[in-house]
A and B are shown apart, each in its own frame.
Chain A
Amino acid sequence: MSSSITPARKRLMKDFKRLQEDPPQGIMGAPVENDIMTWHAVIFGPEGTPFEDGAFKLTLTFTEDYPNKAPVVKFVSRVYHPNVYKDGSICLDILQNKWSPTYNITGILTSIQSLLDEPNPNSPANAEAAQLYRENRREYERKVRDCVEESWSSDEEEEEDEDEDGQDGDDDDDGADGDAPDADKPDAAEQ
C-alpha cells in the first residue's frame, strides 16, 4: 500500500518513533510540519559543563540517500565552540567521513551533545575558540556562557520584550555576530 513512501522516509519515521519513545536526556527533535526530510531539534547543554542550561536549536536536512548519506546538521543558535563554524556548521567526524548507515537521529543528536563538552581541538572550525580552549579556559568559558544566555532569547519571533540581561557591553565583537545579524541583534543593547 505504501509504495510511494521511499526507504529514506520510512527510516525517518522509525527514527521519529524511536526518539519519541525513548528520548535521551536533554534532547528534543521532530520533523517540521509536512516535511519529514527537515527536522528541528533542541539540544540542552550537559549539566556540570559551561554549556549547562543552554538550549541550542539545530536543523537537520536529510536527502533520499539517508541513511547511506549523513544529514546536513547545523546549529541555528549561535554556539561558541572549537568545532562549530560561524554559520552553525559542525565539524564532527561521524557527520562526515565516519558516517555509518546504522546511525539514527537519536545517535546524531547525542553525539553532538557530547561534543559540546568534549571538543576536538585538532580540527578547529572556530580558531579563536580552539585557542582559548587550550590556552585560556576561563575566557573560553566566559564566551560559552555568553552564547548560553543568548540561546534563551526567542530570536525567531523578534519579540519586543528585551529584558533579558545578556549581551554585556564589553563583548569584543571580533566578527562573531557578523554572519547572523538577525539572530544576534547587536543593536538590541543600545536602545
Chain B
Amino acid sequence: MKVKVKRKWNVVAVWKWTAPDDSCGICRQAFDGCCPSCHEPGENCPIVFGKCKHCFHMHCILKWLGQPQDECPMCRQTWEFQ
C-alpha cells in the first residue's frame, strides 16, 4: 500500500498534565485550565504532587500550607512535596 503524504499539512499539538483527577480539589478548576489566580494554563501554573499522591495546582496548595496547616487537604497527612 502506498501512502502519499500531501505537502500541505498542519501540525497540531496538545498537552495535558498527567494527573489522576480532572480538577484541583482546592479550587475545583480543571487541571488543564489554571488556578483562579492565573490567567492562562501552562507551565507557569503547574500541578504538584505530595508524597501521599494527592495533587493540586501549586498555587492552590501553597496558599493553604503554612497558615498554619501543613496537612494534605485530602488525607490530612503531613504534606511533603514529591
Contacts and interface: CB of A to CB of B under 8 A. Distances in A.
Interface of A: 3, 6-7, 10-11, 14-15, 18, 67-68, 100-102, 104
Interface in B25-81: 25-29, 35-37, 39, 60, 63-64, 67, 73-74, 76
B39 A100 contact: no
B26 A102 contact: yes
Contacts of A14: 27-29
Nearest to A11: B27
Given A100-B76, A101-B26, 8 more contacts: A7-B35, A15-B28, A68-B63, A100-B74, A101-B25, A102-B25, A102-B26, A102-B73
Interface of B: 25-29, 35-37, 39, 60, 63-64, 67, 73-74, 76
Contact of A67 (B26, B37, B74): B26
B6 to A, nearest CB: 39
B49 to A, nearest CB: 15
Given A7-B27, A14-B28, A67-B26, A101 B60 contact: yes
B36 A68 contact: no
A132 to B, nearest CB: 34
26 contacts: A3-B39, A6-B36, A7-B35, A7-B36, A7-B37, A10-B27, A10-B36, A11-B28, A11-B36, A14-B27, A14-B28, A14-B29, A15-B28, A18-B28, A67-B26, A68-B63, A100-B76, A101-B25, A101-B26, A101-B60, A101-B64, A101-B73, A102-B25, A102-B26, A102-B74, A104-B28
A100 B76 CA distance: 9
